[in-house]
Amino acid sequence: MSQTALSAGQAEALARGFKAVADPVRLRLLSLIASHAEGEACVCDLTEGFELTGPTISHHLKVLREAGLITGERRGTWIYYRAVPAAMAQLSAALAPAES
């Protein structure tokens, strides 16, 4: 994607993702989800280590979900989150310099 200039639509889609990860809490949550051993993390695992309320964590997860960076699946009373590799690859590719 960094080989050619972005279209307006591509720029808008990427901006949503970059805006979502521009917050330190959301960036950390995404990192925790993406690096979790099973490739997914239960919301119960994500609340540890943050001095935030459950609803605040849920809000940040919602922003990441709406940006297309994570998906969530309810299992019983818990929601399990997975990173969306293609979305993360698009953000990464947008920052890569063009090859000479």
Name the pTM for this structure.
0.86
Q: 44-76 pLDDT, tens per residue? A: 888 888 899 889 999 999 999 999 999 999 999
- 49 φψ region: left (φ > 0), alpha (ψ -120 to 50), beta (else): left
Q: How confident is the model at residue 3 (pLDDT cuts 50, 70, 90)?
A: low
Residues 10, 13: Cα–Cα separation, whole Å: 5
Residues 78, 25: Cα–Cα separation, whole Å: 20
